[in-house]
Amino acid sequence: MLKAYTAHEACYRDLRNSGCKSWDQYHKVSPDFEQFYMRPFVEMALSKASFSFPAKALEVGCGTGPLSCFLATQGFQVDGVDISATAIALAEEESRARGLSIRYWISDVCHDPLGVDEYDLIVDGHCLHCIVDPNDRRSSLLNIRNALTHDGQLWVDSMITTPTTNFGESSYLDSDGVLWVKTSKETEFSDQRFIDGRWHLPTRKLHLTSEAFVSELKQAGFSIEWSRSAPPDKNGEPAGFQAICKKQ
């Protein structure tokens, strides 16, 4: 059964047709490939970390690869996975254009083991907040944990709701923090829902508090080595939560 998160393939086809090189550029979050949204967090996390090189890194939800490419320039042996075939094809093009050797493949982090290697670092490239089903989230976090070395780290950047969070009239944020977006008709996705006379698809999981996200990570077998919360950039937007985690 298809879940709504698989719809990212259509989004990446639109991105490719638009001439953009990254998700953030397509959504006007950043001006170019190198200045991706998570870069300040990744640079800060690197300043706190101590890896023995050559170290292996994996990005889950790599998209077209800006974060993966950045990690490769920092000395990591990098792999990247995404559910979108178009995203992976674009990521391969971008890494080749920069002379970087990065291994990419198509994968569903909810159901597929994350390769045959163990990684010193796994970065959630805004993948987890696209997974809304509790069982899918548990399995994805288990797959991530199983792919880490004993001392490996997981870096996470996600969204937290606030009393003023508002995604507009075309969306509905339920009491569990799941963001539902209206569709024009019934779809092939098994997790669609009929709400107030319209079909909706679940597109994001926003934790109601940072403590709720910490609890989920701990239940999945991670300890929180460092974390911080960030207020919304402007009224109506969600807050942010970033964490550096290790296996318990």
Q: What's the per-residue H, E or C state across 168-183?
A: CCCEEECCCCEEEEEC
What is the pLDDT at residue 223? 97
Q: In this model, does residue 1 exceed pLDDT 80?
A: no
What is the pLDDT at residue 135? 96
Q: In this model, does residue 214 exceed pLDDT 80?
A: yes
CATH of domain 4-163+207-247: 3.40.50.150
3-state secondary structure of 144: helix
- Of all residues in the chain, the percent with pLDDT exceeding 90 is 90
Enter the tokens of residue 214: 């910490």
Q: In this model, does residue 116 exceed pLDDT 90?
A: no
Enter the tokens of residue 200: 């909706």
Question: 34 burial class (0-12, 13-18, 19+ CB within 10 angstroms)?
Answer: middle
What is the pLDDT at residue 96? 98
- Find the mean pLDDT for residues 44-71: 96
End-to-end distance of the chain based on CA atoms, in angstroms? 33
Q: In this model, does residue 115 exceed pLDDT 90?
A: no
Mean of all residue pLDDT scores within the chain: 95
Per-residue pLDDT of 155-183, as tens digits, reads: 999 999 998 999 999 999 999 999 999 99
pTM of this structure: 0.95
What is the pLDDT at residue 235? 85
Sheet order of strands, 193-195 included: 171-173, 178-182, 198-205, 193-195
Q: Helices 39-48 & 66-73, crossing angle to 10 degrees? A: 30
- Find the mean pLDDT for residues 75-92: 97
Per-residue pLDDT of 30-56, as tens digits, reads: 999 999 999 999 999 999 999 998 999
